[in-house]
Amino acid sequence: MRVRSNGHQLRRRESPSLEFGRTSPAFIDSFPFTSPALVWNSFLVQFDTSTAMGTKENGCAGSAQASAQVDKGVDFANYFCTYGYLYHQKEMLSDRLRMDAYFHAVSRNKHHFRGKAVLDVGTGSGILAIWCAQAGARKVYAVEATKMADHARDLVNQNGVQDVVQVFQGSMEDVTLPEKVDVIISEWMGYFLLRESMFDSVICARDRWLKPDGVMYPSHARMWLAPIRSGITDQKMEDLNCAMNDWHSFVDETEAHYGVNMSVLTKAYREEHEKYYLKTSLWCNLDPNQIIGSPAMIKEINCLQATVDEIRTITAQLMLPINADRSRISAYAGWFDVQFKGSEQNPAKDEVELTTGPDADGGTHWGQQVFLVNPPIRVNEGDKVLVSFQMSRAKQYHRLMDIELISELELSSGKRLPPITTRVSIE
């Protein structure tokens, strides 16, 4: 079953840390006072790998490597803190597509839960754990890093499943469970699937606590990319030009009034603004008619088998046939879907899919990530774009992503144009 939109208008997921935010309107308005890069760097003063979330001792060496530059306090301040607020949990709980998908996946596949032990990685408000208990689980271990665990306990009690659901407050990587489990359920997906790198914690939990014949909820995940048309690239270019005009006036006035010439800073100021306006991905809920070429799958993840190494860097060679005449690729859009299919030995009775792709009826709080192509590429129906895609974790912080897209247009005549490189961060 594919969960469709019900037209409910949703707010997008806020950043786990408001300071570093995704490019929310509020954040754009406040720029340049809170540049994400500047704030990150100020936090990355201490590198203490011994307190990173995964270690060899707790059996999560992969995630230790992944987060080797971030200590727990830094990670809490930058990532977890926002999840401790009910308003943020409510945003996720109000995403009807997300909720329907998990609810149907559990309630229509009770055979996976009846009499079983379940682990909910990152239980938040406890919603998934409660559904698992209602589906007949014998025991649900609900692990949550933040103080939201207290609220989860209240919800568990109020809904009468306190004998089944046991809430632990702590990092998944540090928690010791009394037994191995039959099912791991988690809502771990960030923007474009892997932002937040929370899947590392799910992999760690799976390797330590899932029985050999256990099942993962969701069982699979896929990442997609498509070329789109939009006026947004021209708009951002105009914004950049306005910002630079303002800077030039500022330099002139500063010299005229205060006798100091600041023009040596012009290059750095421009670079800072180019990064902000053109090289940081945007959150959008696109209309499907903005897509001008067939979407291509970048990656499929089998959640039972995936390793941290496999998802640390994602590369793909894609061929995107263009199906719109006299158009321009002004950006690429990236999104994901997840499936609840059970396992080969123990398949789902009713498969459920949650997709975050462009949907005319509305979307999810994840929306799509938009990567601007500057200047836009003129295309016609019958052309193809060959894209060499790479996504890796940002050097400063493993929960953010850097993307490189090398686009080569092959015209319908067979002629190839020189490659264009686009670099963009998901912040």
Six-digit token string for 329:
């690729």
Q: Which of 144, 173, 196, 351 is catalytic?
A: 196
DSSP at 107: H
Residues 6+ apart with CB under 8 A from 340: 101, 105, 109, 217, 218, 219, 348, 351, 352, 353, 354
Report, in Å, the least distance between residue 131 CB and ligand SAM: 10
User: Is 196 one of the annotated active-site residues of the chain?
Assistant: yes
Report, in Å, the least distance between residue 123 CB and ligand SAM: 5
Nearer to ligand SAM, 191 or 277 (CB): 191
| Half-sphere CA count of 14, side-chain side, radius 13 A | 22
**Counting contacts by CB under 6 A, is residue 144 touching ligand SAM?**
yes
Residue with the shortest CB distance to ligand SAM: 122
Q: Of 201, 230, 330, 369, which lies in the binding site for ligand SAM, with binding defined by CB under 6 A? A: 201
**Counting contacts by CB under 6 A, is residue 383 touching ligand SAM?**
no
**Counting contacts by CB under 6 A, is residue 171 touching ligand SAM?**
yes
User: Is 14 one of the annotated active-site residues of the chain?
Assistant: no
Please, which residues bridge with residue 369 across strands? 283, 334
Report, in Å, the least distance between residue 400 CB and ligand SAM: 15
**Counting contacts by CB under 6 A, is residue 148 touching ligand SAM?**
yes
Near ligand SAM in 85-104, by CB under 6 A: 92-93
**Counting contacts by CB under 6 A, is residue 172 touching ligand SAM?**
yes
Report, in Å, the least distance between residue 208 CB and ligand SAM: 12
Residues 6+ apart with CB under 8 A from 394: 400, 401, 402, 425, 427
Quickly count: other Cβ atoms within 10 Å of residue 92's Cβ. Answer: 20
**Counting contacts by CB under 6 A, is residue 145 touching ligand SAM?**
yes
Q: Which stretch binds ligand SAM (CB under 6 A): 108-116, 131-139, 167-175, 280-288?
A: 167-175
Longest dimension (CA), the chain: 78
State how far the Cα of 340 lies from the Cα of 240, in Å rounded to an integer: 43
**Counting contacts by CB under 6 A, is residue 127 touching ligand SAM?**
yes
Q: Which stretch binds ligand SAM (CB under 6 A): 26-34, 117-125, 153-161, 287-295?
A: 117-125
DSSP 3-state of 122: coil
* Range 205-231 burial, b when 16+ CB lie within 10 A, else e: bbebbbeeebbbbbbbbbbbbbbbbbe
Nearest to 203 by CA among 190, 221, 216: 216
Nearer to ligand SAM, 128 or 194 (CB): 128
Six-digit token string for 180:
């191995």
Nearest to 302 by CA among 207, 219, 195, 202: 219
Nearer to ligand SAM, 90 or 248 (CB): 90
Report, in Å, the least distance between residue 91 CB and ligand SAM: 10
Report, in Å, the least distance between residue 356 CB and ligand SAM: 13
Six-digit token string for 104:
């149907």
Nearest to 172 by CA among 215, 127, 122, 132: 122
Q: Which of 144, 187, 351, 427 is catalytic?
A: 187
**Counting contacts by CB under 6 A, is residue 83 touching ligand SAM?**
yes
Report, in Å, the least distance between residue 85 CB and ligand SAM: 10
Q: Which residues participate in catalysis according to the annotation?
A: 187, 196
> Which residues contribute to the site for ligand SAM (CB under 6 A)?
53, 80, 83, 92-93, 122-125, 127-128, 143-146, 148, 171-173, 187, 198, 201
